[in-house]
């Protein structure tokens, strides 16, 4: 089966002024699309050609894994944001954040640190593991699925995610992501589906 670039769940200018249409044009239209194109070329006429994205991620290594994982990571990342996002979670998600991190402010501090201190390119994640919430970092294309964790939220900290809008100010991008962009309804739905 050939993989296709998923549509963004909002218009390219819908996250402005926090994420520009120019960033999404490059990040979604060029970077994400390149991973899809590369993956299709790598699996064509192989035993992986008819596998799901998740099955390829579980089985593959090297370039096939990197491209498959980046297709998955980006498809998930777009859904983690929405126009008018940010704020704070509610319900079971809020209660679990309070239980596992002490407070929402403590969660934000730890999640921000995970994104800011990741050396090079990668991702900061809120995951469910063994019934508890946990913050993790993954380098390059790595993702929670490869480690038996359930992804609830991710933040892309590859430079192409923020450089057009924030230049080298990764901490400002992280702050804006948490206060203006996160779709907590999507995160809560991921938690509900995994529980």
Please give the mean pLDDT across all residues of the chain.
97
Closest listed residue to residue 84, CA positions, set 145, 18, 168, 141: 18
- pLDDT score recorded for residue 195: 84
Per-residue pLDDT tens over the stretch 53-66: 999 999 999 999 99
Instruction: Break the chain into its structural domains and give their ranges.
Output: 21-79, 91-194
Per-residue pLDDT tens over the stretch 41-52: 999 999 999 999
Collect all residues with Cβ–Cβ distance below 8 Å to 17 and sequence separation of at least 6: none
Give domain 21-79's CATH architecture: Orthogonal Bundle (1.10)
Per-residue pLDDT tens over the stretch 178-195: 999 999 999 999 999 998
Q: Is the peptide bond before 88 cis (omega within 30 degrees of 0)?
A: no
Q: Answer yes or no: is pLDDT of 142 > 90.
A: yes
CATH code for the domain defined by 91-194: 3.55.40.20
Per-residue pLDDT tens over the stretch 76-127: 999 999 999 999 999 999 999 999 999 999 999 999 999 999 999 999 999 9
- pLDDT score recorded for residue 73: 98
């Amino acid at each position: 089966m050939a993989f296709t670039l998923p549509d963004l769940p909002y218009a390219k200018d819908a996250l402005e002024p926090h994420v520009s249409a120019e960033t999404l044009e490059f990040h979604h239209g060029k970077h994400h699309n390149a991973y899809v194109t590369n993956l299709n070329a790598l699996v064509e006429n192989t035993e992986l050609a008819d596998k799901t994205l998740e099955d390829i991620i579980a089985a593959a290594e090297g370039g096939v894994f990197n491209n498959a994982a980046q297709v998955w990571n980006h498809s998930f990342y777009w859904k983690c944001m929405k126009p008018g996002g940010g704020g704070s979670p509610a319900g079971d998600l809020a209660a679990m954040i309070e239980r596992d991190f002490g407070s929402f402010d403590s969660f934000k501090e730890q999640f921000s640190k995970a994104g800011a201190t990741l050396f090079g390119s990668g991702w900061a994640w809120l995951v469910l593991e063994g019934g508890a919430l946990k913050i993790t970092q993954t380098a390059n294309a790595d993702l929670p699925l490869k480690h038996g964790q359930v992804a609830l939220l991710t933040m892309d900290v590859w430079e192409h995610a923020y450089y057009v809008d924030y230049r080298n100010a990764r901490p400002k991008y992280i702050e804006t992501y948490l206060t203006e962009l996160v779709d907590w309804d999507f995160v809560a739905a991921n938690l509900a589906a995994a529980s």
